[in-house]
Amino acid sequence: MVNARFVKPLDAQLLLALAQTKRLIVTVEEAYLAGGFGSALLELLEENGLQDKVRVVRMGIPDRLVTHGDAKLLLAKYGLDADGIYTRVKEAIDVLDNRRAKPQKVRR
């Protein structure tokens, strides 16, 4: 786990090392996804040719107006509570496992 307290400057060395050794990176931010940490990570991966080497799941607030309210309720609404994060990570791992289990077709 990496605690990235701010988007910039990115710890490019650490993030690129993770992308080369992990098959899944999940970003969770209590802010808008557009222009956030997950977006910056995707840009970094693309700039270094790693965008197809690791699956990235970005979790955060959609790019629309959000009503104000109890923080716990809002986190749950957007899947940013413990249950929502667990579910999303499990789904992503299941997708990766299913892809790995299917035999690759060889084109001739």
What is the span of the domain harbouring residue 89?
Answer: 12-101
Predicted confidence at residue 104, as pLDDT, reads 64
Count of the separate structural domains present in the chain: 1
Which residues face 57 on adjacent strands? 26
Q: Indicate whether this model's pTM tops 0.85.
A: no
In a domain, residue 7? The reply is: no
In a domain, residue 90? The reply is: yes
CATH code of 26's domain: 3.40.50.920
Predicted confidence at residue 107, as pLDDT, reads 65
In a domain, residue 76? The reply is: yes
Please state, in angstroms and rounded to a whole number, the distance separating the CA atoms of residues 33 and 60.
5
Q: What is the pLDDT along the chain (108 residues), one digit of tens a residue?
A: 788 877 788 999 999 999 999 999 999 999 899 999 999 999 999 999 999 999 999 999 998 888 889 999 999 999 999 999 999 999 999 999 988 887 666 666
In a domain, residue 2? The reply is: no
In a domain, residue 26? The reply is: yes
What is the per-residue burial (b if ≥16 Cβ within 10 Å, else e) of 20-59?
A: eeeeebbbbbeeebeebbbbbbeebbeeeebeeebebbbb
In a domain, residue 108? The reply is: no
In a domain, residue 107? The reply is: no
In a domain, residue 106? The reply is: no
Predicted confidence at residue 101, as pLDDT, reads 80
Please state, in angstroms and rounded to a whole number, the distance separating the CA atoms of residues 61 and 37.
12
